[in-house]
């Protein structure tokens, strides 16, 4: 912004990015208590250089936060092999992939299909894994050689020759809701 100001260029693209950054701070969840979670005050201070006073910056903060709170991910599985049991879904980011999910939901199966909605998803990169818990034991069952006995799938519907990875399943959430389909 300093260079743009020095050369009398328009600051609005920088200001727009700063406004969007505030929402990221509001929705950020540190991986542990030792991970940094500071910086919003600095962004609001720089935003004042865009001609915003404290009240205007708070309005922008509220507006962007409301926009993020409206982001919904709808996940559909259209090809479940039976209506027995439930489908279990887990939302991950790169740091939590295949560990503790950021959000988890259970869906009932009707006529071989199920769907869920994940609300208030912050912008970022995520992956979703789901499986058909046909016997309701709250676990994906495996046979003796380590292969899953129950159907499962993940975002982007990749064909795998080994365990899933975040990079294969990742998708990006921006400032609009998404509809995703996972096929078994």
pTM summary value: 0.64
With a cut of 70, say whether residue 7 has pLDDT above it. yes
Residue 179 phi/psi, 5-degree rounding, is -110, 125
The two structure tokens encoding residue 119: 């609300």
Edge-to-edge strand list for the sheet holding 72-77 = 114-119, 72-77, 178-181
Mean predicted confidence (pLDDT) in 42-51: 78
Q: What is the C-alpha to C-alpha distance for residues 122 and 67, in angstroms, rounded to an integer?
A: 10
Nearest to 19 by CA among 54, 53, 65, 70: 65
Tens digits of residue pLDDT in 71-84? 899 999 999 999 99
Greater confidence (59 vs 171) lies with 171
Give CA–CA dist 144/161, Å, rounded: 18
Is residue 130 a contact partner of residue 115, using CB atoms and an 8 Å limit? no
Tell whether the model's pLDDT for residue 178 goes beyond 80. Answer: yes
**pLDDT > 80? residue 146:** yes
- For residues 11 and 112, the model is more confident at 112
Where does residue 34 rank: exposed (0-12), middle (13-18), buried (19+ CB within 10 A)? exposed
Structure tokens at 77: 């599985």
Residue 35: band (very low, low, confident or very high) from pLDDT cuts 50, 70, 90: low
pLDDT for the residue 15: 81
155: helix, strand or coil? coil
The chain-wide mean pLDDT, for the chain, equals 84
For each of the domains in the chain, give its residue range(s) and CATH number, in order of start. 2-69 (no CATH), 72-181 (2.60.40)
Model pLDDT for residues 111-138, shown as the tens digit of each residue? 999 999 999 898 899 999 999 999 999 9
- pLDDT level of residue 70 (50, 70, 90 thresholds): low
Q: Say if CB 20 and CB 68 are below 8 A apart.
A: no
């Amino acid at each position: 912004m300093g260079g743009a100001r020095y050369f009398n260029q328009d600051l609005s693209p920088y200001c727009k990015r700063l406004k969007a950054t505030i929402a990221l701070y509001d929705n950020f969840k540190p991986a542990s208590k030792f991970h940094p979670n500071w910086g919003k005050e600095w962004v609001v201070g720089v935003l004042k250089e865009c001609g915003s006073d404290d009240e205007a910056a708070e309005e922008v903060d509220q507006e962007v936060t409301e926009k993020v709170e409206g982001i919904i991910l709808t996940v559909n599985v259209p090809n479940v092999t039976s209506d027995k049991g439930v489908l279990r879904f887990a939302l991950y980011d790169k740091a939590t992939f295949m560990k503790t999910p950021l959000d988890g939901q259970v869906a009932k199966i009707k006529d071989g299909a199920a769907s869920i909605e994940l609300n208030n998803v912050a912008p970022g990169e995520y992956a979703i894994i789901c499986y058909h818990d046909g016997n309701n034991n709250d676990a994906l069952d495996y046979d003796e050689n380590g292969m899953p006995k129950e159907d499962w799938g993940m975002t982007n519907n990749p064909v795998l020759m080994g365990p899933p990875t975040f990079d294969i399943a990742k998708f990006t959430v921006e400032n609009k809701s998404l509809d995703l389909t996972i096929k078994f």
